A and B are shown apart, each in its own frame.
Chain A
Amino acid sequence: MAQTFRLPEGGQIDRAQSLGFSFDGGRYRGYGGDSLASALLANGIHFVGRSFKYHRPRGIFAAGFEEPNALVQLGEDPRTDPNQLATLVELVEGLAARSQNRWPSLDYDIGALNNLASRAFPSGFYYKTFMWPATMWMKYEHFIRHAAGMGQSPRERDPDRYDKTQAHCDVLVVGAGPAGLAAALAAARSGARVVLAEQDHLLGGALLGEAEATIGGAPALDWARAAEAELRSLPEVRVLGRTTVYGYFDHNFLTLIEKVTDHLNRKPEHLPRHRLWKLRAKQVVLATGSIERPLVFRDNDRPGIMLAGACRTYVNRYAVKPGTTAVVFTNNDSAYGAALDMQAAGIEIAAIVDLRREVIGPMSEAAEAAGLPILADHAIVATEGGRRIKRVRAAPMDPSGGQVYVSGEPIDCDLLAVSGGWSPTLHLHSQAKGEIAWNEELGCFVPGEARQAAHSAGACNAAFGLASCLAEGATAGQKAAAAAGFKAKGRKKAAPKAADHGFLPARWLWLVPSDTPLGHGGKHFHELQNDVTAADLQLALREGYRSIEHVKRYTTTGMGTDQGKTSNVNAIGIVAEATGRAVPEVGVTTFRPPFTPVTFGVFAGRDVDELLDPVRRTPMHGWHQQAGALFEDVGQWRRAWYYPRAGEDMHAAVTREVREVRRSLGIMDASTLGKIDIQGSDASELLNRIYTNAWKKLEVGRCRYGLMLGEDGMVMDDGVTARLGENHYLMTTTTGNAAPVLAHLEEYIQTEWPEFDVYCTSVTEQFATISIAGPNARRLLAELTSDIELSPNDFPHMAVRDGTVAGVPARVFRVSFTGEAAYEINVPSSFGLAVWQATMTAGEKYGITPYGTEAMHVLRAEKGFIIVGQETDGSINPIDLGMDWIVSKKKDFVGKRSLTRSDMAKPDRKQLVGILTDDPAVVLPEGAHLVERVEPQPPMAMLGHVSSSYYSPNVGRSIALALVKGGLAKKGQKLTAPLLDGRKIGCTVVDPVFFDPEGDRLRG
């Protein structure tokens, strides 16, 4: 089909660029510079979707971001985007769009039956109908979701790339209409760093849709082109087209989404699809324009009913006739401008129906002079037409404007252009917590005081005349630049001359009367996207809702993807009128980011797959890989988990590793343990205050185990700390707590004990740690070192020695987490792999066995050693763990006072115990609940849970640690673990040390 509705000339389009596209399978052509909506209209297509609830036919309604109806699905999986505004989609060759919310097709839609049954769908319908019984909700939901479907999200992974970037500027100007351009020019000329962001791909804003506007005696768009050229020539200015400022956060932090390649037919490899800008601006100028409001009259939603300003834009910017015979319905002067432009484009104006009693105003008078048929003090009381409007009826109103007594005159048309006034686009101002005030004369909310360094200018500041926009823009730009430290240079340029009329006078009738009562014989939609009518609002009010926020949620008005851009003010007006309150008393609902929907992809950006989170590997990582280790994540670290040999499953491998450590010799990579170097004359005092036990008498060359609490008395971390010198310690922490422990120390040093002479440095990554454990550990170490005395007297358990190991300077701790004689050899990271290999070679004769974290867990559990974060969860204190032996009674330490709070002494606190299952072969799942009495079904009184559970080859049975209420007093008692699979496992509470309770092996 040819572009029957394309004007022969004019418009901001490129006729040399003919572009093919499809909609619902039909093939069409448009031009470069078209939006999908303008190209559809050029082909005579208005009907593009079905409404959300009633599935009524809906057409293209607007020309910009305020579009409530024309939501389409673009492209095919995986490159498919739901809920895209046809008015914002730039036409590209091959674009494939589909209508949404219809089944099986747009023309024959089963859901349209909802419209016939609409009495069954009042506001609050879901709340009222699907409340009971609760068990049925899942069933209901399935059908509701299907019926109220928007577009479909892609099922496959998004193949595109997205970027994030940071930026700073002196002045951010949002919007490149006349006010924004004037502001950007003024700010840029002062030398400020300016970013100008415009969601459209052309600069000019409202000027793009107005043919007759002039600035300084020349066409307004010439001025806009010159302004753009000047801005682009300035080195400190960045013009971002196709970029929407969608969020305005604290301290002038704004987020922008730039659509980089959507409009390109060939998308260059090096460019991301969209780019997220995180921008910090010293000053912001908001020049976001205004949004035209529809009128709320009966059956005001048929395809072919459009905003008057949008009709004007389609005629002037896109050279498209949105119809052949138009009726204009207005309450203000601005629609007359649209009528004149449409007439000039060859559209027959059948009538201008004006709610106002008198036809006054510059555009109205021009239209009257041009001989357009005008019906003043009339209302449109009904519309007809299924997939396109074909007729309206206009009738005179009573003097109050609240009643109509006749059914009115029919007027044939295929286009109804509507204007109900203009609302400043306050979204960003409001997101930035700026105040909002009601302007009675203009019938709209206007920005009040800004809470941040922001200036509103132009139509978004209720300056609706072109000259005012230019003047306000220039002033705001200058002020913003000055506030950012840039004085205007030279003489102030006078604002260029332009006409300065707004849309007044107007008559504010929130609800246009009809010849039938509200809700009968038709629907007065105020909210098109979510299908909410004036009758729904009144029902909500009758049912007792008063707050506009509650009315919003109950009726869902303003809760669509457009966030009620065209509907909110009308909703508030209708509620105000119905409740006899003034509009400001009703107030506005909250504006929230994003201004328009944002692709999920930009939030992820490049932070996906291997870039999602840094991976930390030890110096020996490659060796573990070659040895066939499986790895587990511990925070960002990848730790060797176990080393299966051919044919071994996890159980077999771990059992072998655990056995070998106790039989002869094991080796483990412990490099990930946190290491903090602590130096200074107050180092001992610091440890004394941070750990629960005493530190001052620890000899140089000795180590001590310490328990660290939060001020609430709960266990925070544990580890061994060595005294390397009089004023020098090396603290080790658990792998996951290395950073929090350092932060904990620094906080106390800086905020509570600033007089301390002490310095903490993280050295976790500076050292590789090789732990060797088992009866042959000492023999092996003796082969690797010649300058460290190893006899138990010279180098006892819990001592530290410096020396040479495998020819490398090393620091060796004799500490044990396995219960075996064990040494932790610390060498500079770069030597880690070499020393590991040397140790492996020397250990061959002992059958040295590399073991991973799983075997380590079993070994320590055999000894009843806790793991912070496994046996503790932030609510467990040392007494609960049976570790009162490490808690000093004499000195103060962080968390001490909390241990004497009355709750800490309660006998039914959860305490650490060992658990042995009646059947030694059964290994309880970690997390299993323990009960005293088993009920036939939940709930039953739970006593606690299993925190660690393994099969222990050395004990020859399963073992478990658990936290049980009053557990210390329950030793010997029988408990049951009822499992999810129905099994009920009998077990006994025992002491948590299962192996070598005397610790002889440790000291050997």
Chain B
Amino acid sequence: MLLIPCPYCGERDETEFSYGGEAHIERPKEPDKLSDAEWADYVFMRPNSKGVLLERWVHSHGCRRWFNVARDTLTYKIHAVYKMGEKRPRVPKTDYV
């Protein structure tokens, strides 16, 4: 079970959180101007990446705040957590095959 450092509450067990998928996917400002494919890409398509992924979590059973996590999907190492709206952290490049 992951130990997630909530930027507001500190380290807590994964069971207190809910997962929100990949981070930094902004809702399009003018959805009507997108093609079906572009809209489907926004709603449904996510890369299943191996390596460090910037992803969203919410502390559902705590402060109920959303924040971002830089987590390696292979090792599960958490490299950084940062609040919504903050700049992306520098994360190590991974060259997994």
Contact = CB atoms under 8 A, between A and B. Distances in A.
Interface of A: 249-253, 280, 433, 451, 711-712, 743, 746-747, 750-752, 754, 892, 896-898, 900-902
In order of increasing CB-CB distance, the 5 nearest A-B pairs are A897-B31, A251-B3, A750-B66, A253-B1, A752-B27
Given A252-B3, A711-B43, 9 more contacts: A249-B1, A251-B2, A251-B78, A280-B13, A712-B44, A751-B20, A751-B84, A754-B84, A897-B34
Contacts of B30: 892
A251 B1 contact: yes
A898 B43 contact: yes
A177 B53 CA distance: 41
B46 to A, nearest CB: 13
Contacts of B18: 743
27 contacts: A249-B1, A250-B1, A250-B3, A251-B1, A251-B2, A251-B78, A252-B3, A253-B1, A280-B3, A280-B13, A451-B75, A711-B43, A712-B44, A743-B18, A747-B58, A750-B58, A750-B65, A751-B56, A752-B26, A892-B30, A892-B31, A896-B31, A897-B32, A897-B34, A898-B39, A898-B43, A901-B40
Nearest to A743: B60
Give the one of A433, A897, A902 with max B CB within 10 A. Answer: A897
Nearest to A255: B1
A896 B43 CA distance: 12
Interface string B65-77: 1100000000110
B36 interface: yes
A252 B3 CA distance: 8
A898 B39 CA distance: 8
B58 A743 contact: yes
A451 B85 CA distance: 31
A896 B31 CA distance: 8
Nearest to B29: A892
Interface residues of B, number: 30
A252 B1 CA distance: 8
A750 B60 CA distance: 13
Contact of B76 (A251, A898, A900): A251
Contact of A433 (B43, B64, B75): B75
A250 B36 contact: no
B60 A901 contact: no
Interface in B1-30: 1-3, 13-14, 18, 20, 26-28, 30
Given A251-B1, A280-B13, A902-B36, A750 B84 contact: yes
Given A251-B76, A747-B20, A897 B39 contact: yes
Nearest to B18: A743
Contacts of A253: 1, 3, 13
Contacts of B75: 433, 451
B32 A892 contact: yes
Nearest to A710: B43
Contacts of A750: 58, 65-66, 84
A607 to B, nearest CB: 14
A249 B76 CA distance: 11
B34 A754 contact: no
Give the one of A250, A751, A752 with max B CB within 10 A. Answer: A751
Contacts of B1: 249-251, 253
Nearest to A711: B43
A903 to B, nearest CB: 9
A253 B30 CA distance: 45
B41 to A, nearest CB: 12
A250 B2 contact: yes
Contacts of B32: 892, 897, 900
B44 to A, nearest CB: 8
Nearest to A712: B43
A600 B28 CA distance: 49
B83 to A, nearest CB: 10
A901 B39 contact: yes
B76 A250 contact: yes
A250 B78 CA distance: 11
Contacts of A451: 75
Nearest to A748: B27
A249 B2 CA distance: 8
A777 to B, nearest CB: 38
A940 B44 CA distance: 32
B51 to A, nearest CB: 15
A746 B64 contact: yes
Give the one of B26, B60, B64, B65 with max A CB within 10 A. Answer: B64
Contacts of B27: 711, 752
Nearest to A898: B43
A750 B20 CA distance: 12
Contacts of B39: 897-898, 901
B31 A747 contact: no
B60 to A, nearest CB: 7
A901 B85 CA distance: 30
B59 to A, nearest CB: 11
A252 B77 CA distance: 11
Give the one of B20, B34, B44, B76 with max A CB within 10 A. Answer: B76
Contacts of B26: 752
A756 to B, nearest CB: 13
A711 B32 CA distance: 13
A896 B65 CA distance: 26
A780 B18 CA distance: 46
Nearest to A280: B3
A754 B85 contact: yes
Contacts of B28: 897
A280 B31 CA distance: 45
A747 B60 contact: no
A234 B31 CA distance: 64
Nearest to A750: B66
Contacts of B40: 901
B17 to A, nearest CB: 12
A250 B20 CA distance: 19
B24 to A, nearest CB: 10
Contacts of B20: 747, 751
A891 to B, nearest CB: 11
Contacts of B44: 712
Nearest to A254: B1
Nearest to A451: B75
A248 to B, nearest CB: 11
A898 B28 CA distance: 12
Give the one of B1, B30, B34, B78 with max A CB within 10 A. Answer: B1
A766 B50 CA distance: 46
A249 B44 CA distance: 30
A747 B76 contact: no
A784 to B, nearest CB: 38
B77 to A, nearest CB: 8
Nearest to B37: A901
Contacts of A896: 31
A624 B39 CA distance: 50
A892 B43 CA distance: 15
A747 B20 CA distance: 9
Contacts of A747: 20, 58, 66
A697 B82 CA distance: 38
B34 to A, nearest CB: 7
Nearest to A252: B3
A421 to B, nearest CB: 32
A743 B76 CA distance: 26
Contacts of B84: 750-751, 754
Contacts of A902: 36
A431 to B, nearest CB: 13
A36 to B, nearest CB: 35
A897 B39 CA distance: 8
Contacts of B14: 250
A386 B30 CA distance: 83
Contacts of A901: 36, 39-40
B42 to A, nearest CB: 8
Nearest to B31: A897
Contacts of B13: 253, 280
Interface string B46-57: 000000000010
